[in-house]
Amino acid sequence: MRRDVKYAKLVPRIRALALARLAETRLGKKEPKMRTTEHFLRLDRGDFSRRPGSQFPQEGFWRAGCLLLIAFVALALPTQAQKRANLARLVVVGDSLSAGFQNGSLLDSQQVHGYANLIAQQAETNLPLPLISFPGAPNVLELISPGPPPNIAPAPGPPGNRENPLVQVFDLAVPGANLHDALFTRPPDPNNPLTTLILGLPGLLASPPISLSQVEWAEALSPTTIVLWIGNNDALGAVLAANPALLTPVSQFQSDYAALIDRLAGTGATLVVANIPDVTVVPFLTSAEKVAEEFGLPLSFIGPILGIGPGDFVTPTAFTLIEEILMGQIAGPLPSSVVLTAAQIALIEAAVNSYNAIIFAEAQSHGAALVDIHGILNLIRARGVVENGQRLTTDFLGGVFSLDGVHPTNTGYAIVADEFIETLDQTFAADIPPLSVELVAKSDPLILPSVGRPASALGHLSAGMAKSLRSALVH
């Protein structure tokens, strides 16, 4: 007999006995008067529960124990009614974070380290990926030298292509896709070639051609479990372009997310969703305070010259301009195209909070498990995470984010995967073994010996890399 079935049969008996004893205590005897702590804690006697007049602790402890036992049985033990996750046909809907995008590129050697593939490996299930050949699409960023300052450049050669064009992928996530794209964008997509590489093959090779959006493919693949992490680009586009006008209106996000999760729930699959991180966590942005630290000048001095103040952030493109302004080659302040003011950051964060409230409400109403990525990344930003004796941080080259300053390293994706696995195990009794993030970190090429030093000692993303990232993710 399976253990959960055996415990399920014991639950009614345990609950009945506990409730009967509780009723006997309440109805058959008078409730004792409250006594002071000093009455029981007398050091010249033995166990106070055996002394005359100590009936209250006995019965009080018994009642408390009964209630705790009932709560334990109800919450801790699996019951026959609990839904169990079946990952035999795992489907992933999302954006670059769910595609295993890293170092500014979708590349086979990096895709296998994405959180979705790590979940599949731990669950011992198959998750076909749209593998892209070297040097990736776009060309992967490579760390030539850690510096400081670091020397980072894209790999040479023409962009990579699909290695397995005849394989139907189950990781449907498209880098650059926003929530609306997941519902409606089909290949070929003139604005985003990755849509065609991921969603268009092998469908477009069929006769007649098959062209489906992410949600349409998810419905067609008969999934047993769906992972949905979408909406990041609805906020990130505003960050990459330093333009809050690019935020998706909350009303549109509400209607699109409701439509998307309704359709995914209609497949009958177990649903696991994740929320959106705080945009200021990513090291693509540099705070005004860190700018001052990097140039070794007080913010009270450098701020008025550059036109930045406390709570403001700058994009990577700003740094060349900052050097030229401080050297007197051009006049300040910085143009608004490279600065997000504190007020603009507050506007973006408010939108993210609204998006996350929508995700939470829709997850609850559809019985989906929710992974709190927003919370875990804020915790790592505040405290760091220690692996193999090194404290990894969310700073640039701090070990959590890759060379593009937006997407995780192998270790960062392992942390995310472990959060998904823990949520699946707790909510749907998936019985997936946890990852060893420590082992992943040991072989991660971006866990540098210098991790833990101040971000100012390690530099920042270059303007050229920022431009490449914007072209890949903002459409």
DSSP per residue over 110-153, as a string? Answer: HHTTSHHHHHHHHHT-------B-TTTBTTPEEEEE--SSPEEE
Helix axis angle, 318-326 relative to 299-306, nearest 10°? 100
Query: Are residues 231 and 376 part of one domain?
Result: yes
Tens place of pLDDT per residue across the chain (475 aa): 433 433 344 444 434 444 444 344 333 433 333 323 333 233 333 332 333 333 333 444 444 454 444 444 444 444 334 689 999 999 999 999 999 999 999 999 999 999 999 999 999 999 999 999 999 999 999 999 988 889 999 999 999 999 999 999 999 999 999 999 999 999 999 999 999 999 999 999 999 999 999 999 999 999 999 999 999 999 999 999 999 999 999 999 999 999 999 999 999 999 999 999 999 999 999 999 999 999 999 999 999 999 999 999 999 999 999 999 999 999 999 999 999 999 999 999 999 999 999 999 999 999 999 999 999 999 999 999 999 999 999 999 999 999 999 999 999 999 999 999 999 999 999 999 999 999 999 999 999 987 864 433 345 555 555 555 445 545 5
Task: Check residue 162 and give its pLDDT.
Answer: 98
What does each C-alpha distance from 43 to 50, 53, 61 come to in angstroms? Answer: 14, 16, 20
- The DSSP output letter for 272 is E
- 314: number of Cβ within 10 Å: 23
Whether residue 271 is contained in a domain is answered as yes
Query: Are residues 259 and 195 part of one domain?
Result: yes
**Is the Cβ–Cβ distance between 433 and 439 less than 8 Å?**
no
Whether residue 51 is contained in a domain is answered as yes
Task: Check residue 59 and give its pLDDT.
Answer: 43
Whether residue 202 is contained in a domain is answered as yes
What does each C-alpha distance from 103 to 28, 153, 227, 242, 466 come to in angstroms? Answer: 71, 10, 23, 21, 11
Query: Are residues 115 and 28 part of one domain?
Result: no
**Tell me: the pLDDT tens digits for 360-414?**
999 999 999 999 999 999 999 999 999 999 999 999 999 999 999 999 999 999 9
Rounded Cα distance between 143 and 154, Å, is 9
Rounded Cα distance between 376 and 393, Å, is 12
Q: What pTM, to 2 d.p., does this model score?
A: 0.80
Whether residue 326 is contained in a domain is answered as no
Query: Are residues 106 and 231 part of one domain?
Result: yes
Whether residue 345 is contained in a domain is answered as no
Instruction: Taking the CA atoms of 390, 394, 398 and 400 in sequence, report the sign of the dihedral they define.
Output: positive
End of a domain among 76, 106, 139? 76
End of a domain among 28, 49, 76? 76
Task: Check residue 148 and give its pLDDT.
Answer: 81
Where in the sequence is the domain holding 423, given as residue range(s)?
A: 90-280+367-473
Query: Are residues 172 and 66 part of one domain?
Result: no
**Tell me: the pLDDT tens digits for 118-156?**
999 999 999 999 999 999 999 999 999 988 889 999 999
Query: Are residues 382 and 273 part of one domain?
Result: yes
Whether residue 195 is contained in a domain is answered as yes
Query: Are residues 175 and 68 part of one domain?
Result: no
Rounded Cα distance between 18 and 255, Å, is 47
Number of domain units in the chain? 2
Q: Please name the helix (run of DSSP H) or strand (run of DSSP E) that holds residue 97, with its range, or none.
A: helix 96-99
Query: Are residues 190 and 139 part of one domain?
Result: yes
Task: Check residue 72 and give its pLDDT.
Answer: 46
Contact residues for 455 (Cβ-Cβ < 8 A; gap 6+): 283, 286, 290, 294, 393, 395, 396, 397, 398
Query: Are residues 214 and 135 part of one domain?
Result: yes
Name the nearest CA neighbour of 291 among 319, 260, 270, 333.
319
Query: Are residues 272 and 222 part of one domain?
Result: yes
Whether residue 9 is contained in a domain is answered as yes
Contact residues for 158 (Cβ-Cβ < 8 A; gap 6+): none
Query: Are residues 56 and 199 part of one domain?
Result: no
Task: Check residue 27 and give its pLDDT.
Answer: 38
* Bridge partners, 137 (sequence order): 106
- The DSSP output letter for 225 is E
Query: Are residues 163 and 126 part of one domain?
Result: yes
Count of H helices and E strands in the chain? 20, 11
End of a domain among 76, 110, 127? 76
The single-letter code of the amino acid at 378 is N
**Is the Cβ–Cβ distance between 61 and 21 less than 8 Å?**
no
Here the CATH number for the domain that contains residue 375 is 3.40.50.1110
